[in-house]
């Protein structure tokens, strides 16, 4: 029981701490991205291998997550062409849920642009928490830049 409480409390406490220090560097860009993602039917997009359903998460994105790949990224992932990085236009959307519940907490989005990855994180109602290249996002994903072009849950480029 104690372990279960900690597995819920720690991500929740970290999430609340991060919410207190929001970093919305690009409000207009984040609003545009939210509109595009919401109108795309992203929950019908392919999922990365190993994430065919909601899976437990040990990150700041929630206690459990659903992850979706837009057609651009999904096609590149399935291509036999060798890749050094994901193509411009690639999008990953991660729905984060509180604990193991069905209560959506956040929607995290990464979009590959000409100048690199653009990060945005929204509360369940679409309010922007982070956008642009926030230090908290960049510092965490930087650990994967040479291995998988900044992504954790998608296979690395071939």
Per-residue pLDDT of the chain (158 residues; tens, 9 = 90+): 444 444 444 454 555 444 445 776 788 999 999 999 999 999 999 998 878 888 877 777 778 889 999 999 988 887 777 777 789 999 999 999 987 678 899 999 999 999 988 989 999 999 999 888 867 666 666 655 554 544 545 554 44
Looking at the domain covering 2-148, what would its CATH class be?
Answer: alpha beta
Give 107-113's long-range contacts (Cβ < 8 A, gap of 24+).
107/37, 108/61, 109/33, 109/34, 109/37, 110/141, 110/150, 110/151, 111/33, 112/73, 112/85, 112/86, 112/87, 112/88, 112/149, 113/88
Q: Which token pair is 25? A: 């560097």
pLDDT given for residue 155 in this prediction: 54
Alpha-carbon distance of 98 to 114, in angstroms, equals: 33
5 phi, psi to nearest 5 deg: -65, -40
Query: Of 58, 56, 36, whose CA–CA distance to 111 is shortest?
Result: 36
Instruction: Please give the pLDDT value at position 77.
Output: 82
Torsion angle of the four alpha carbons 125, 19, 141, 75, in this order, in degrees rounded to the nearest 10: 0
The two tokens of residue 48 are 């990365």
Domain ranges in the chain are 2-148
Measured CA to CA, the distance from residue 79 to residue 158 in angstroms comes to 9
CB distance 83 to 119 below 8 Å: no
> Residue 20: which region, alpha, beta or left (left: phi > 0; alpha: psi -120 to 50)?
alpha
Length of the chain: 158
């Amino acid at each position: 029981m104690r372990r279960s409480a900690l597995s819920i409390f720690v991500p929740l406490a970290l999430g609340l701490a991060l919410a207190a220090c929001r970093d919305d560097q690009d409000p207009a860009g984040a609003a545009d991205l939210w509109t595009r993602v919401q109108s795309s039917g992203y929950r019908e997009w392919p999922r990365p291998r190993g994430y065919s359903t909601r899976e437990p998460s040990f990150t700041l994105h929630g206690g459990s997550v659903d992850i979706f790949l837009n057609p651009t990224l999904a096609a590149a992932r399935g291509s036999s062409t060798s890749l050094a990085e994901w193509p411009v236009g690639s999008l990953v959307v991660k729905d984060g849920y509180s604990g193991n519940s069905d209560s959506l907490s956040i929607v995290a989005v990464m979009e590959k642009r000409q100048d690199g990855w653009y990060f945005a994180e929204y509360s369940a109602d679409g309010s922007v928490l982070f956008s642009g290249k926030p230090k908290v996002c960049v510092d965490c994903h930087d650990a994967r830049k040479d291995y998988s072009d900044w992504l954790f849950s998608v296979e690395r480029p071939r």
